[in-house]
């Protein structure tokens, strides 16, 4: 159990380079492995989740060398993976599981996917059902892991996603690469597009988009790449919120990815009146910027609705924390997907934030929050519930308390951000 000690009389200050983007790091391993040639990936996120992806491809015959945040992958081509000699352990990584399900559905060998207790409770029918429509042969355990993927002949598909999910979309895309014809995927709302962007970097016009409709060209030739992973805006978000809320703070987060399918947290901060500036912007396939944040003493309340949820699904616990300091009543709705993350994040956020005196109510698909600066701590023992983003959100909340608190389950934070507490300390010194 980690002590979260209050010692921030001068606020947060300084520059910080947050770790590489988790979504892009996962995909860099996947696409490098099925490309031809040797890829060099810089600023890779060596978190527990991303290591799960690396280990899976090593088990399937891909030579991968990780040195700090530098990754070298010797690709085997689209059809060069080998049958693993053991079950593939997904750890806690839903991204690894769902994306690999699509890729493995097109292989000529059987794979067995397992995961930890938390991952084994997360729904997998959302990927197994559309993949089965494409000809995949997938056996789940009552819709969950363990999951067995048998050889199948993948057919082209025109599929309309019933929900906005980048992971499901990406699974279908990766399966469609091996189909007999081009496939079409229709999204109800645009979700993070790293898979599409990176495929077009590794291949020539693999993906075409027209509005919410995505065309996947089959049997592409993918060629190894040398590229930098931008800083993860989902990791940067914790410090964006902390510096906004903690008096006297002024920080600059360097080289953060600002892909427009991921910047919902920036939109919320700006709508609420936070003092945010984007500096040194680049406009590559994955745009980046330095983000300057200064303490904002008064924030406006906000109503977040379903249409904007896909742009900030991972940051919604932080949005709830922001709203708890706003001047008025805020709501977050259309976010039922939070119930199917590492924890039921709706239930867990409400349970934990109430411990520190925040006025928050659970809705079926989100939260109702009455903002206040007068929090009265009723329980100083906080719990991540094994959820990395809940743990970091509570650590940020602790900065605003006038008593010391304890955080149980802080080890879960290494799933996405192993250096989190070191970086928090850096900005506090």
Annotated binding site: 22-23, 27, 94, 122, 165, 167, 314, 341, 345, 389
Instruction: For residue 225, give every residue at least 6 positions away whose Cβ sits within 8 Å of its Cβ, in sequence order, or none.
Output: 32, 35, 39, 201, 202
Of 288, 290, 226, 292, the C-alpha closest to 259 is 288
Q: Which pairing describes strands 111-114 and 144-150: parallel, antiparallel, or unpaired?
A: antiparallel
Instruction: Report how far residue 89's alpha carbon sits from residue 114's, in angstroms, rounded to the nearest whole number.
Output: 5
Distance of CA 3 to the CA centre of its chain: 26
74: nearest Cα among 56, 62, 89, 85:
62
Q: How far is CA 69 from CA 24, 47, 90, 237, 247, in A?
A: 13, 10, 21, 21, 33
Q: Which residues are annotated as part of the binding site for 3-phosphoshikimate?
A: 22-23, 27, 165, 167, 314, 341
* Annotated binding residues for phosphoenolpyruvate: 22, 94, 122, 167, 345, 389
For residue 387, indicate whether it is catalytic: no
User: 3-state class of 412 per DSSP?
Assistant: helix
The rounded distance, in Å, linking the Cα atoms of 315 and 235 is 9
The answer to whether residues 158 and 134 touch, using CB atoms and an 8 Å cutoff, is no
User: 3-state DSSP call for residue 125?
Assistant: helix
As a whole number of angstroms, the distance between CA 257 and CA 88 comes to 30
Report the alpha-carbon distance of residue 361 to residue 272 in Å, rounded. 20
Please name which of 254, 239, 251 lies closest in space to residue 396, comparing C-alpha atoms.
Answer: 239
On the 0-12 / 13-18 / 19+ scale of CB atoms within 10 A, 298 is: exposed
Output Rg (C-alpha) for the chain, integer angstroms: 21
Q: At what angle do helices 388-398 and 233-245 cross, to 10 degrees?
A: 20
**Angle, vertex CA 255, rays to CA 251 and CA 261, nearest 5:** 105
Task: Determine the Cα–Cα distance for residues 309 and 317; give it in Å rounded to an integer.
Answer: 12
Catalytic residue among 49, 232, 314, 383: 314
Cα separation, 262 vs 265, in Å, equals 8
Nearest-CA neighbor of 18 among 427, 314, 428, 423? 423
Residues involved in catalysis = 314
């Amino acid at each position: 159990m980690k002590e979260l000690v209050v010692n921030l009389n001068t606020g947060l200050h300084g520059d910080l380079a947050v770790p590489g983007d988790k979504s892009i790091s996962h995909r860099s391993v996947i696409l490098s492995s099925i490309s031809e040639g040797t890829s060099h990936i810089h600023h890779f996120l060596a978190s527990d989740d991303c290591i799960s992806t690396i280990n899976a491809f090593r088990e399937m015959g891909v030579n991968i060398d990780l040195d700090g945040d530098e990754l070298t992958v010797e690709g085997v081509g689209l059809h060069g993976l080998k049958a693993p000699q053991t079950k593939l352990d997904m750890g806690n990584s839903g991204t690894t599981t769902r994306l690999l399900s699509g890729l493995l559905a097109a292989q000529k060998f059987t794979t067995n996917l397992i995961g930890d207790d938390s991952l084994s409770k997360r729904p997998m029918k959302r990927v197994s059902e559309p993949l089965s429509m494409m000809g995949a042969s997938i056996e789940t355990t009552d819709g969950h892991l363990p999951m067995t993927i048998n050889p199948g002949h993948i057919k082209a598909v025109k599929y309309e996603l019933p929900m906005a999910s980048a992971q499901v979309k990406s699974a279908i895309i990766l399966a469609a690469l091996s189909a007999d014809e081009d496939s079409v995927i229709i999204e109800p709302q645009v979700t993070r597009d790293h898979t599409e962007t990176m495929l077009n970097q590794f291949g020539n016009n693999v993906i075409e988009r027209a509005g919410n409709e995505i065309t996947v060209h089959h049997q592409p030739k993918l060629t190894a790449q040398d590229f930098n992973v931008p800083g993860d805006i989902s990791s940067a978000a914790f410090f964006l919120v902390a510096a906004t809320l903690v008096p006297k703070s002024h920080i600059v987060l360097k080289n953060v990815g600002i892909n427009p399918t991921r910047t919902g947290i920036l939109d919320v901060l700006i709508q609420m009146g936070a003092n945010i500036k984007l500096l040194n912007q680049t406009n590559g396939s994955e745009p980046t910027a330095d983000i300057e944040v200064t303490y904002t003493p008064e924030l406006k309340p906000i109503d977040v609705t379903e249409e904007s949820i896909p742009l900030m699904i991972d940051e919604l616990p932080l949005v709830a924390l922001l709203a708890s300091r706003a001047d008025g009543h805020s709501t977050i709705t259309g976010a039922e997907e939070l119930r199917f993350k590492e924890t039921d994040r709706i239930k867990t956020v409400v349970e934990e934030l109430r411990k520190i005196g925040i006025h928050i109510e659970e809705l079926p698909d989100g939260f109702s929050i009455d903002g206040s600066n007068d929090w009265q701590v009723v329980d100083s023992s906080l719990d991540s519930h094994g959820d990395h983003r809940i743990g970091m959100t509570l650590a940020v909340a602790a900065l605003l308390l006038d008593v010391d608190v304890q955080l149980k389950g802080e080890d879960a934070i290494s799933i996405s951000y192993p250096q989190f507490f070191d970086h928090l300390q850096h900005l506090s010194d």
